[in-house]
Each structure stands twice: as C-alpha cells, then as structure tokens.
Chain A
Amino acid sequence: MTHHPPYLSPDYRSSVLRAPSRPPVAFRADPDAVELTGPVFGHDEIGELDADLTRHHAGEPIGERIIVTGRILDSAGRPVPGTLLEVWQANAAGRYAHRRDQHPAPLDPNFTGAGRCMTDEQGRYRFVSIKPGAYPWRNHHNAWRPAHIHFSVFGTAFTQRLVTQMYFPGDPLFPYDPIMRSIPDPAARERLVAHFDLDVTEPEWALGYRFDIVLGRTPTEEQ
C-alpha cells in the first residue's frame, strides 16, 4: 500500500471530498472470487494504427516525435503477455482534445492523443506519439502539471488493474506537482519517470523512452 499514494492527499484539492474516509476493508479472497480473473481482449479488437498516435489524422501532428516502449511485469518480475494497455495525453502545446479542457493553447487538428496496444509474448508494448506539453491547472496559484502520458493497464486479475501516469526525465515541475508528490516514497515516484534510451531512439526520426510497469500482487500469489 505504501507504494501507492494515500487516497487523501490534501495538496491535491480534488482528493479532499472524494477520498474514502475509511481504509479499504482487507479481504482475503476465496479461490472463486471474481476479482482473481480479468477480461481477455482479442488482438483483432485493436486496430493496426491504434498504437501510432501520430497517424490518426490526415496530416502529422506538431511536436517532438517519440517512441515509448517497455514491459508489463507482474510482482515477481514475470512478463504479462497479451494484456491491454491504453494511453491518452495532451498535445505538444499542453491541450487535451477534451471539450472541458479550457487551457488557451491550440488544439492540433492532426492529434487526438488516445491510443492502445496489447503486450506481446514477452510482455512488451510500444507506441509512437509526440511529446505532450506541460499545462496549467487550477489546483493552486500558478499550478502546472509536468508533461505526462496517462496509462491504463489490465493484467490478468481485476485486482491488478492499474491507471497511472508516466513522466519525462528531468522535468523541472516535479517538485511542484501535488499529484506526483502524493506518492510518499521518492523511490516509488521515480518509478513513474521514463528513461531516455538511445537504443530505442530512431535516427532522423524519433526520440525513444523506456517505461516498464510492474503490476500489483494478486491475492493467490504467495507473500
């Protein structure tokens, strides 16, 4: 539990009225518990271009082209093959293609910023995008979110379901971001920062980042 942020993190204002006031009930699931399994998605439910966010429109989006790749692992470090990963993000100017995003930065007609892919037999995923911009929000005076990509991962059990955010190395906004800082352990925060990787980087084309995701223990695994 200490790896994750507490539900109540008052510096993140939206948590104040939404964080449960009682700790979750610790429950030792019986072997038949529904939560010990999770949905299986078919590879053919995913479009070929879903993992390339730069090719969802007629033209190319503005911004720094990036490749993000990594592995999805279970708590024993074993790869999780064939699991669904969804990503969404702001455009290079820091604006989401969401009707409620009021940030006065331009929308990019060639960028929506939503994609998905499945992990391969080795638990690897890879998608192509552009680097999202930082953006202001109204949490407190002069609040800015560090550039990030939202990730949604399934795993093999409903208990492993994870939604998180990936950050970019060296962002000067880290010390000021109450969402990232809601994670008490600095070492755990670091695990949300992707690594720049020259081997992933493709010459004359795109910068490469590596980001591995480790899912939580399932109740059937041994302590």
Chain B
Amino acid sequence: MSAVPPTPSQTVGPFFGYALPYPQGPDLVAEGHPGAITVTGRVLDGAGEPVPDAMLELWLGETGTRRALDRAGEGVSGFGRCPTDADGSYRFRTARPAGPYLAMLVFARGLLRSVATRVYLQDGPDPLLDALDPSRRATLIAEPDGEGGYRFDVRLQGEGETVFLEF
C-alpha cells in the first residue's frame, strides 16, 4: 500500500499538567516491589536552566500485569509517565528492563516534536552506543546514585546535549 502522509506533530504546550499526568503514573511498580529501582534526573534547557513543564514517558518493552492507567494489578507495568517539578526533576520507580536500556520520550513546551532517547543502565557493547561518538555516548548512560537507583539527566540543547534518536 502506498504511504499516507503523517499528521504533523505540535508541541504539548504548557497546560497539559491537569490532563495527562495520572495517579502513580511514574510508578511502573508499586512501592516495595522486589528489585525495584528508581530512575531520577532533571530536564535542562540550552542555558542549563531546569525545564519545569516537561513530561517524560518510559517504556520497558512489555505491557506487563500492572495496568498502565489505573495501576490496578500486581507486578510490573511497562509504561510510565512523569511530569517534571519546578526544578525540572522527575522520578520513576520501575523494574529492570529485560535488556540494557529503557526507552524514553520527552515532551515539553517549546518542543514542537517529542524527543526520543534511551536510558542505559550499564555501558557495554551495543549497536546504538557503538555507533555514537565516544563523547556523546556517555549522555545515554545512567549513573548509579549509590542508593540502588540511577540518575539520568536530559539536556535538551548545548553542552552535553543528550543523544536523541530518529528511528
């Protein structure tokens, strides 16, 4: 079949906060889930300032048994959503993915189209990482925070700009 031209993207704007986030959206697993980890960080703009009106989505690759929207059920949900706070910070609680990375999307006022990236929980041989300039590779590797969690900052622009992906 011939390709149909896609619907263009537009920014999520500043006023999604009452509509898209939902209770326990950032919690892919419930508190106390065995082996749960946190992924925390900040979203920063080209001046290094926090982005207080961004929204991040995380995808593990499998829908799982904990439901994505009403969060009923036991186990793991594959999907999470977290808006940033006034200081640009976010926090997910998740299970470890089957592979080395989690998929992440970032939406914000000022982003006319979402950006896609990956949060690698460890460095190692990998088709994507190995294709990157070594100086940029580090932007996709989350840092252990010493408390069983990981830190991953998203720099939208400029020095240390996170690698964003086009599939």
Contacts and interface: CB of A to CB of B under 8 A. Distances in A.
A4 B112 contact: yes
Contact of B112 (A9, A21, A187): A9
A19 B156 contact: yes
Contacts of B132: 25
A148 to B, nearest CB: 8
B78 to A, nearest CB: 6
B105 to A, nearest CB: 6
A165 interface: yes
Given A34-B61, A192-B10, A12 B157 contact: no
Contacts of B101: 34
B51 A42 contact: no
B78 A4 contact: no
Interface string A1-45: 101111101001011111111111111111011110111111001
Contacts, number: 225
Nearest to A218: B167
A162 B69 contact: no
Given A18-B51, A35-B116, A213 B103 contact: no
A5 B8 contact: yes
B151 interface: no
Mostly, the A contact residues are: loop
A45 B68 contact: yes
Quick one: which of B62, B103, B105, B112 has the most chain A CB within 10 A? B112
A125 interface: no
A60 interface: no
A209 interface: no
A206 interface: no
Contact of A150 (B12, B51, B157, B162): B12
Contacts of B68: 39, 41, 45
Given A37-B61, A38-B59, A112-B18, A182 B161 contact: no
Contacts of A9: 112
A40 B110 contact: no
Contact of A25 (B59, B99, B105, B165): B165
A29 to B, nearest CB: 5
Contacts of A5: 8-10, 112-113
B141 interface: no
A29 B99 CA distance: 14
B115 A20 contact: yes
Contact of B19 (A34, A86, A216): A86
22 contacts: A4-B112, A6-B112, A17-B45, A19-B157, A20-B164, A22-B161, A23-B166, A24-B164, A25-B128, A25-B132, A39-B78, A41-B68, A45-B67, A75-B4, A76-B2, A77-B2, A99-B17, A114-B18, A152-B20, A180-B10, A192-B7, A217-B6
Enumerate the 6 nearest inter-chain pairs by beta-carbon distance, A residue then B residue, closest first.
A14-B110, A88-B19, A18-B110, A114-B19, A39-B79, A34-B61
Given A100-B14, A114-B19, 12 more contacts: A18-B157, A20-B115, A30-B127, A34-B102, A77-B4, A98-B18, A99-B17, A158-B103, A158-B105, A164-B8, A182-B10, A191-B8
